[in-house]
A = this chain, B = another copy of it.
């Protein structure tokens, strides 16, 4: 077939067969449950937005990283969403007057980047976001980190697997200026820090020289980083500890005190990591990233405070703080640490364990009773299956029931009676079909609660 070569999954995207979809469900349901118990409510926007929603914040440079398009005959240019924050800002700005302040929002869904796929990075991926909008307090900063760590804990991850690298944009600015950085070089300096670990030594030097950042700034800043590393408790974050008295240091300390009260300080060591800036320009205060402990993977999550963004999108001046976590690196880290449930458990969690498997004993009367019984059971909210095989051999059909993880098999002998077999104990009893729901209930099989109006 001539065009068969193009019937492939687009580069950097994924096909999900049942086990893959069950794994996706495991992650998205964990995100959802963690969000809910931390008091976040779900919101969402379209899968694509007007392109301007992204360029206003990030400049034209972002266009090459986006999938953008027009409708045939249309004038507007759209882009597949690369991140959620601009949508969130648009949502909040357009109804700011009627929304609770603070609003605590989460979302989880597909996002898109037109970049080259590599380990930990795909062109289509899932991302979870949780944000508190309208709360300027350090408590909100800490709660956002707490929600992120809550997900990691619920998955069995501990500070031996990954850590929260936390910093503060304002404090970094104060410290940088204190080190002699010219104020007009702040963007270049933050861009330097953001990419420092990915460049070689000579590349790093060239980066600074090329942008007119004096090399002595890095020398002094590195000395402060070393000092800060030795402070493990917020009580010791005195001006002397890092050689500077500033309001931003107090702000950072206030977040750390909250994290300590929540029992999260063990995740955040050292509690001031001055190499974390977060690439995105819109952060204004606390910033954090979660990294696998060896540092070998991309960040699992990242976020921070962005107090100017809602206003930029036409809303009232509103403080906000939040984070995003993708599914790709998370899955790699869980897999590398053997923390994903096994396949069988994954399928069962996804609801793929039938309550009842209906088998005919091969007589015409029993054959004809299979569909009516299936329909009856399903109407009573039970998960009921039949074989897809043509065999009439009851042993093979029971094997199929077992393969499909059924709890109970019912072998019909007519449209009135049959045998009911508990597939885990092997116990088999004769039943009258009129009493099938009662018999199933004695085995604890009551199905999903009926949807009531």
Contact = CB atoms under 8 A, between A and B. Distances in A.
Interface of A: 1, 3-4, 6-10, 13-18, 21-22, 24-25, 30, 32-33, 36-39, 41-50, 52-53, 56, 63-64, 67-69, 71-74, 76, 78, 80, 90-91, 93-95, 99-102, 104-105, 110, 112, 114, 124, 134-135, 139, 142-143, 146, 150, 153-156, 258, 261-264, 313-314, 339, 341, 350-352, 354, 368, 371-372, 374-375, 377-379, 381-386, 388, 447-448, 450-451, 453
Contacts of A13: 45-48
Count of chain copies: 2
A378 B37 contact: yes
Given A37-B382, A104-B388, 4 more contacts: A22-B42, A36-B351, A142-B371, A258-B371
Contact of A371 (B14, B261, B313, B351): B261
Nearest to A132: B388
Contact of A339 (B43, B104, B453): B453
A48 B10 contact: yes
Q: Which of A22, A73, A372, A377 has the most CB of B within 10 A?
A: A372
Nearest to A114: B71
A105 B110 CA distance: 21
5 contacts: A13-B46, A13-B48, A18-B41, A33-B381, A68-B72
A7 B53 contact: yes
A368 B261 contact: yes
B44 A24 contact: yes
A313 B124 contact: no
